[in-house]
Amino acid sequence: MPALPARLRRALPRATRRRVVSGSVVLVLLAALVGWAALPERRSWTAVDKRLTVLSGPSGTEPVDLDTRFYLPSGGDAKVPAVLLAHGFGGTKNSVSDDAESLADRGYAVLTWTARGFGASGGEIHLDSPDYEVRDAQRLLDWLAAQPRVLTDATGDPRVGVVGGSYGGALALLLAAQDPRVDAIVPLITWNDLGRAFFPQSAAAVTAPGVFKKSWAGLFFGSGSSSAGGFPGGPAAAPRPAGADPACGRFAADVCAAYLKMATTGTPDDATTALLRRSSPASVIDRVKAPTLLIQGAVDTLFPLSEADANARGIAATGTPVRVAWFTGGHDGGSGPQTDQDRTKFLTVQWLDHYVKKSGDAPANSFTYSRVAGFSALDRGLVTNGYSDPTYPGLTGTGRADVAVGGRAQQIASPPNGNPGALSSLPGIGGQVSSLLGSVAGDLPGQHAEFDSAPVPSAIEVVGAPTVRLRVASPTGSATVFVKLFDVDPNGLATLSGGLIAPVRLTGLPADVAAAPAVTVTLPAIVRRIDAGHLVRVTVATSDQAFLGPVEPVTYTVAVEPAVTLPTVVGTPIANPQVIWRYVLAGLIAVIVAGLVVVLAVRRRRLRRQEAPTIDEYAETPLVVRGLRKAYGDGFVAVERVDFTVERGQVVGLLGPNGAGKTTTLRVLMGLTMPTEGDALVFGHRLEPGSPVLSRVGALVEGPGFLPHLTGMENLRAYWRATGRPEQDARFDEALEIAGLGDSINRRTKNYSHGMRQRLAIAQAMLGLPELLVLDEPTDGLDPPQIAEMRQVLRRYATDGRAVLVSSHLLAEVEQTCTHAVVVNKGRIVANGPVEDIVGDSPSVQLEVSDVDAAAAVLAGLNVRSVTPDGASGLIIDMNGTPRAEVVASLVRAGVGVDRVVPRRRLEDAFLALVGDNSRGSGDR
């Protein structure tokens, strides 16, 4: 924050008296702003890039260089919990920088790194192997535990959560299973069984291997083997090591061989199955003891919702806390609409705060989900509705709707090598193909059969995995088909939710469909509202471009049993920004009506009597508080008796423990509440709601509040217009310099950090450069450099006849900033005067010695209360009545050199002496 400009030091003309209507509108607007304020706790941070060499591999002795970045929140020497933040496949540490910064803002130390085989890190890709990638992460936990600012639960055991998406999500699960030091995990859009993910089999009780997901597997392999390629949304991979097999790139040899085998034959051999199992949380899921929040996307043809379900069931079976969240994004749908991004970020922070930071309540609901609800009327972007349920229903829902579908048995042709293939999804945009192109572009004539229902009579909220019973006949005894569920509107537009399909490989089939057994097919889980009047369509196709089809052409006969079972959940709606805004608008109308009532009442009162006369002897005194008392109807006395004066040129600190009456006093001073007894005079005028003299006062009381949809500058201008004063009197340039927000002044305040809101609120209080400035905790949310600059601002502001009253709990800042202090305890003043007078004589002494450890040992044998290190060669001693000469003589006799002896008493010492043990109160009212 810049220093106050020189022109602010010029004397100000006294503001003219304003109409009572203007004052009332200001109060109404302030009340509305406070009510709408969003106050996320955010802090500043620093980030340092480091090359860390860790030892891993099966023997734990193989070195690999990892490219890391360590984010550390500001806060001096305070220890903080940590987050290990992993990126997705093909990404780097830069891929998660936004999330890392957000977590650092919330007070976490965050370590990100580029996994081995990617970006600037060394090594090869072992596909989240417990011996390699997981062991790398364990060594990173060791490094975190050795950092001075990282909170630890025991030696070598950092207080840490692990967060990661996709590749990083599986790492979080595998790491938690392998290392008990992990305190909580948040895996996103990841897998449970990598073999099932790449060889899905949707038919129950069928032992035939699944169908190879060739498109996604090829994209995975290409992003790791090519020096120019990259995963969607991630950076290009680094050049492969010299001498590496061009067919394998940066993949380890066994992973490369496994892929080549899968892509060639379409079936995994034993070695490939073992490798995929090794890299699957399913193999160790019963060992995960860290509380787990599983976030999975409903628009994901790579790792569908069933993968998170398998993880959830496996972890919950051991009694470990688990929560599941489904959202409208995924590998095919990005991060989902903004409302869903905000919801999943909130859930992540809530989980980490409770289980890692050990603050905040445990999440109330074990399951949340969302669905697309339409388009925003403002920007045409998708909006979502969110819902919650106290228990996780799995894929079967809490209810069911059976919908009858009709149609005779049909013959469909399977083309050679699955070509031409239907287009249901494409990696990275799978969820958009069906919605953009519809069923006509997806399924090819002669290669699919359709079975339709009648229009459904009422809407069905599908939440889970639909099932259908299918019969298939094949002259070869085997068949590969793809089953899909469409929502068909009255105009015939068919939508395949998320591009999700159910691949089925069957063997031992008869040639006659009448003799074929019915097989239950579980379709991918979806979240979708099928509106009344829509049809449900089951489509069975013989090919799909995302999967490897049979080599030989063949014709199947397929039939569908009459009913499709749709799982349902009736969740509790979660308010999203669109819903909240309706209530905000309703609240605005209510505030305006209430404001008009106040304005009319005050005007009538003013017409009936003249304004209270000025008390001339105080006409030039910014503030005089006389016999102030505030009691409430329930008998609670917030302020017993308070008397003090703020003169021109003074910066007065109002101090006291919680519940002492500080905030109540400030509310009375601002006319926000009326005292029971006594009064407050501002330049000789008694304060009351709507008093024109309030135009000479600037205030920040009870936290900043702004209209979230307006920019910082628009908020300042709206506030000033509400005062009814000319725009040229606002002195916006000076206020903007005070705010120090730069270009952020033109950003919407809903995107501001708490510190940014605080600085904007202080600038708003200083608009018009009022003669009396009243600030409640002005440094809340500011980092140390900003606090130091605020100290200079307040000192300079009190020049040329202005005055400042500031309430703060930062006693060291008050001591350095304020000229005078008023100490309140239990509603009464216990000290009032210049800061140096209140500090008084020192019961403590500061020593500079030649040997701190030796000095501490000598002092331990004397009658002193405490000995505190102060820098490299200093000690602060609470003398407890022991003469200073005796302390110095004892040190000298022991051979300890004493270079400096300084009496030391801080405002904090005086404060504690004045208020005693009453440091915890019931809070101001």
According to the model, what pLDDT value does residue 502 have? 94
In angstroms, the CA 547 to CA 413 distance is 16
Would you state the structure tokens that stand for residue 677, as one six-digit string?
């007894």
The CATH number that domain 842-904 falls under is 3.30.70.100
Q: How would you classify the pairing of strands 651-655 and 820-825?
A: parallel
Q: What is the pTM of this model?
A: 0.61
CATH 2.60.260.20 is the classification of domain 399-568: no
Q: Where are the domains of the chain?
A: 399-568, 610-836, 842-904
β-partners of residue 898 are 849
According to the model, what pLDDT value does residue 849 have? 82
In angstroms, the CA 521 to CA 559 distance is 13
According to the model, what pLDDT value does residue 160 have? 98
According to the model, what pLDDT value does residue 383 have? 64
758 in helix, strand or coil?
Answer: helix
| First vs last C-alpha separation in the chain | 32
Rounded-to-10 torsion of CA 309, 305, 99, 320: 0
Would you state the structure tokens that stand for residue 690, as one six-digit string?
């709507």
Q: Which residue in this structure is represented by tokens 């976490």?
A: 108
In angstroms, the CA 735 to CA 882 distance is 52
> Which of the residues in the chain have pLDDT under 70?
1-43, 222-244, 334-339, 374-383, 428-441, 575-614, 633-634, 671, 687-691, 702-704, 738-739, 810, 812-813, 839-843, 902-925
In angstroms, the CA 24 to CA 610 distance is 18
According to the model, what pLDDT value does residue 925 have? 46
Strands (E), 523-622: 526-530, 535-541, 554-568, 572-574
Q: Are 419 and 546 in contact (CB under 8 A)?
A: no
Q: Which CATH number fits domain 610-836: 3.30.160.20, 3.60.10.10, 3.90.1150.50, 3.40.50.300?
A: 3.40.50.300
Same CATH fold assignment for domains 399-568 and 842-904: no
Residue/partner pairs of 245-252 with CB below 8 Å, 24 or more apart: 249/224, 249/225, 250/117, 250/118, 250/124, 250/125, 250/224, 250/225, 251/117, 251/124, 251/125, 251/221, 251/224, 251/225, 252/117, 252/124, 252/125, 252/126, 252/127, 252/132
DSSP characters over 557-583: EEEEEEEEEEEE--PEEE--HHHHHHH
Question: What is the DSSP-derived secondary structure letter of residue 863?
Answer: S
